[in-house]
Every structure is written in C-alpha cells, then in structure tokens.
Amino acid sequence: MWFRRLFSWVFTLDHKRIGLFYIIMGVWSGFLGLGLSLMIRINFIEPYYSVVSADCYNFLITNHGIVMIFFFLMPVLVSGFGNYLIPLLGGLEDLNLPRLNALSMWILLPSILFLAISMSLGAGVGWPFYPPLADKEFSTSSGVDFLMFSLHLAGLSSLLGSINFICTILSCIHVSDVPRDSVILWAYLFTSILLLISLPVLAAAITMLLFDRNFGSAFFDPMGGGDPILFQHMFWFFGHPEVYVLILPGFGLISYICSGLNNTPTPFGVVGLVSAMFCIVGLGLCVWGHHMFIVGLDISTAVFFSSVTMIIGVPTGIKVFSWLYMLSNSAVNWSEPVFWWIISFIVLFTFGGVTGIILSACVLDSILHDTWFVVAHFHYVMSLGSYISVILMFLWWWPVITGFTLNKYLLQAHCLISQVGFNLSFFPMHFFGMCGLPRRVCAYDCSFYTTNLVCTLGSLISVFSGVLLIFILWESLSVKNIVLGSCSDANVPFNLLHGVSPNHVGFIYNYCLMAGYFN
C-alpha cells in the first residue's frame, strides 16, 4: 500500500534512506546555487548597465555562497555520503544513533524553508554577515533574520550529525591497525571534530547579532560599547575550519581511490596521510586571522597568522606527493574517468593552494584583499576541490549503491567539458584581482568587458556540465547495466573497486543485496 510505503520512508531510521534524503536535498540546493551564480555572471555581461538591480545583486551574492556551502556541499559530501560510507566501510549495520541521525536530517527541511523565505524577502548583507552592514539600521529587511534562523537550524543539523559520526567511527576504528578503508573514516572523524569545535562559535555569533538586531543589545555596535571586529573573529573561527570540513572527505576519498588504483591493501604512507589530516585540523583552527589582515592587527599577530597559514602547506604537500607516488605506480587505464578527475583535483587544488600561499602573506593580502583574486582562490580550493570530490563520490560509489554502471564515454565528455568551464570561469578572475577590481561590485570598467564575457561563457559551460552529470546518472538508472553478478564474483565489471579484495567485494555485494538494491 502506497500510504504504508510513504510512512516507512518518512519515519525511517535507515542510514541509506537518510543518506539518500541528504543527497537529494543537497543536489536540489546545488542547482539553486548554480542558478544564482549564473545570474551573477549574466549581470557582468554589460559593464555599466546592470541586468538586475544593485539590491538584487547583493541578494544573489549573499545567497549563492550560503546555499553552496551550507545546503549543497555539506549535505552531499559530509552528511549524505557519510551516512552511506561510514557504516559500509566500518562493517556496521547502521550508525550508532539512528534516531539522532533522522532528527538531524529532518531539521534541514525547515532550514531550507527559512532560506526560501529569506530569499523572497531579501537579504543582501553578504554571506559573512558582517556588522554594521547586517545591523538593523542598514538592513531593515526581515529576510536577514530568516536567513540567520536558517543557518541556526543548518548548524544544529550538522552538529547532531557530527556527534553521531564521532560516536560511530570511534566504535569501529582501530588506531593500531589502520586498513585502507579507514582513511575515509579518519577523514570523516576529523571533519566531525572540526564541526563540533567550530559550529558553536558561529551559532553564538549569529545569536548575538540577532539580539543586536531585535532586542537592543550592542555586542557589535561601537555606540553601545561593542566591537564589530569581534564578529569577524567569531565568524572566521568557524569560516576557515569550514574549508577543511568540506575538503577533508575529499582527501580521504582521493587516498582511498589512489591506493585502489595502485592495487595495494593500504595507501602509501598511510600514517603520514592520517597525520597530515590531523595537522591540518590542528593548524586550521589557528589561522582564522589571515582573513582579517586589514582590520588593524598588530605586526606580531599578523606575522603569526601568516606563518601558520604557510605551514599548512606542508601537510597538504605530503598528501599531494603521496597521491602522485601511488598514481605513478598504478597500472590503471588512463582512459578511466576516475583517473582524469583525480588528476584534475590534484592540479586545481594545488593551483588554488599556491594562490593561498600568496594571500597568506599579510603584505600581499593587504593589496589583494576584497578583490576578485580572493574569489578565484576560494573557488579553486574549496569550490572546485569540494565539487570534484562530490563528482568522485558519485563516480566511485554509484555502482556500489545502485548496482548499475555509468557510461564511460559520457563521463569522459563530462570531465573535459567541466574542466573547460571551470577554468574559463575562474582563472581570469586572478587577472581582475591583480588589476584591483573589487568583488561584490556589480559595475566595472569597460576594459574588462571581453574577459568578463569569457568568464560568463565558462559559467554557462559549467551549468551545462552539471546538467550533463544528472543526465549520466539518469541514463545509468534507465539502461540498468548490472555491476555485480554474484557474491563470489571477484572480477567486477567496469573495474568497479579497482583492486579491492574479493572478500570486500563479496561483503559489498551482500550489503547491497540486504539493502534491496538488486531486484
């Protein structure tokens, strides 16, 4: 009966169904954020004539960043695939706290509802919510309050999910014997720890700002003895670890895939990989001040934040060279789309990391701060790095979750189209920044017209690549080419797991069979 089936899905405690809910909501939000970014780029087709009004432009840049970070990348990359992979790779039937897991998922729905209300009312304060711009005197729209409520609920959802992930991973991981599967478990453990430490600080900052707006307090109002710079400290104490929250699952996945392509039971330098992630977590909590070099930090504080930011490049370099070593010793077919995406991840993320080293120098950052150079760096590191991680998650685990293969030639075309779109859209922004073109400004000098046109073309290509990915997934479900034929079949078609042991293949097949994926 359809009612009973619907009832079973609404009140489900199954981590697979909850993960599917997260992924569906995240993909929907991702296309919403992609549409907002396309409107931003279309607005730059003309240098002085704005396609949309200045207020609408502010609404677009505010909601684009929030939607992509809090409602696309985190639900898909952290919560969605985390729900699938942690029990699967930990050998568990479900997460340790299934009711808490279901609660964290359902909290995300009213959060998206408040986001939609705020978009209809208008909230043009920028995604960091800096006061005094976010104060009642400058932003009278109640959409700002609804957007803060939305972030409160999204943060609560992530916080509850992090507690669940930590409890589950600690119950199944063994520190003395780290198998290849546990690299992803370590990544999700560190991600959850970062969220558990940083999210309460963001919640406190937003709560204080809500009190300033609605109850007459003056936490960030200098006229009442407050300090607006305090909000920046609190926001970036969350904001910079959030970058690693979104990239650490990708680090774990790349390590896992590279070891699979290398046909080794454990990744090269597994202790170094895990230790590098631990160092990134520790150092990432200490570098929030490099977003604030122009607020008047004293020279000792600026040098500290600048130095620690540069040191983060060391553990990141350890991971990159470990991946390159494993890839150089692999016998994988170079035509594999997964291999193409791994190379793309390494190249784009490394390029974004190099521009991050440039911005970590307080002298250079004072020149490039709040220009398009920062936008280019941010998108190369987090947007492209995390988005490629999402694509790799789908490519690697889609056959395991659904039991169906993906079209190899469509995946190759998708990779090429995506790379063209990414680089056309974001690479010219470095030039804008070095020329001093400020971001969050909807008008520009006509000498930048041609380059902006190229960026807009790249944005259109990127939108097409996103639609193509959904078509590839839909085509897989339509054609229904079965991956695994039997539990004892160790030679998996489509080279599904690339070097995973036959026992693990059998375990995954039984897992999928138990989940009801093979009909």
As beta bridge partners, residue 482 has 404
> What's the start-to-end Cα distance of the chain, in Å?
19
Among 26, 232, 264, 275, CA closest to 128: 232
Could you read off the pLDDT of 49-63 as tens digits, one per residue?
A: 778 888 888 899 999
**Contact of 428 with 506, CB cutoff 8 Å:** no
pLDDT value of position 305:
93
Q: Which value, in Å, is the radius of gyration of the alpha carbons in the chain?
A: 23
Contacts of 211 (CB under 8 A, 6+ apart): 217, 219
CB atoms closer than 10 angstroms to residue 434 = 14
The domain segmentation of the chain, as residue ranges, is 17-479
228-261 vs 313-328: helix crossing angle, rounded to 10: 20
Contacts of 469 (CB under 8 A, 6+ apart): 391, 394, 414
For residue 226, the number of C-alpha atoms closer than 13 Å in the C-beta half-sphere is: 21
- What's the CATH number for 17-479? 1.20.210.10
Among 351, 204, 348, 232, CA closest to 290: 232
As beta bridge partners, residue 404 has 482
Among 406, 519, 419, CA closest to 470: 406
Q: Which residues are catalytic?
A: 64, 94, 127, 157-158, 240, 242, 244, 255, 290-291, 316, 319, 439
Among 232, 105, 236, 239, CA closest to 161: 105
Work out whether the CA dihedral 252, 253, 254, 260 comes out positive or negative: positive
DSSP, collapsed to helix, strand or coil, labels residue 491 as coil
Tokens coding 481:
């080419």
DSSP states of 365-404: HHHHTTBHHHHHHHIIIIIHHHHHHHHHHHHHHHHHHHSB
What is this structure's pTM? 0.89
**Contact of 242 with 198, CB cutoff 8 Å:** yes
Block residue for tokens 């396309």:
38
pLDDT value of position 179:
52
| Spans of the chain, pLDDT less than 70 | 1, 173-181, 263-268, 483-519
Can you list the alpha helix ranges (DSSP code H) found in 480-515?
502-515
Instruction: For the chain, give the number of residues.
Output: 519
**Contact of 443 with 49, CB cutoff 8 Å:** no
pLDDT value of position 514:
40
Block residue for tokens 């709560």:
207
Write down the mean pLDDT value for the chain: 85
pLDDT value of position 497:
41
> Residue 238 and residue 204: Cα distance in Å, rounded?
11
Among 127, 14, 131, CA closest to 62: 127
The single-letter code of the amino acid at 176 is S
Could you read off the pLDDT of 175-223 as tens digits, one per residue?
A: 444 455 578 889 999 999 999 999 999 999 999 999 999 998 889 988 8
DSSP states of 82-97: HHHHHHHHHT-SS-S-
**Contact of 130 with 184, CB cutoff 8 Å:** no
DSSP, collapsed to helix, strand or coil, labels residue 242 as helix
Can you list the alpha helix ranges (DSSP code H) found in 215-336?
228-261, 270-284, 299-311, 313-328
Among 112, 119, 257, CA closest to 180: 257
The single-letter code of the amino acid at 102 is A
DSSP states of 181-218: THHHHHHHHHHHHHHHHHHHHHHHHHHHHHHHHHS---
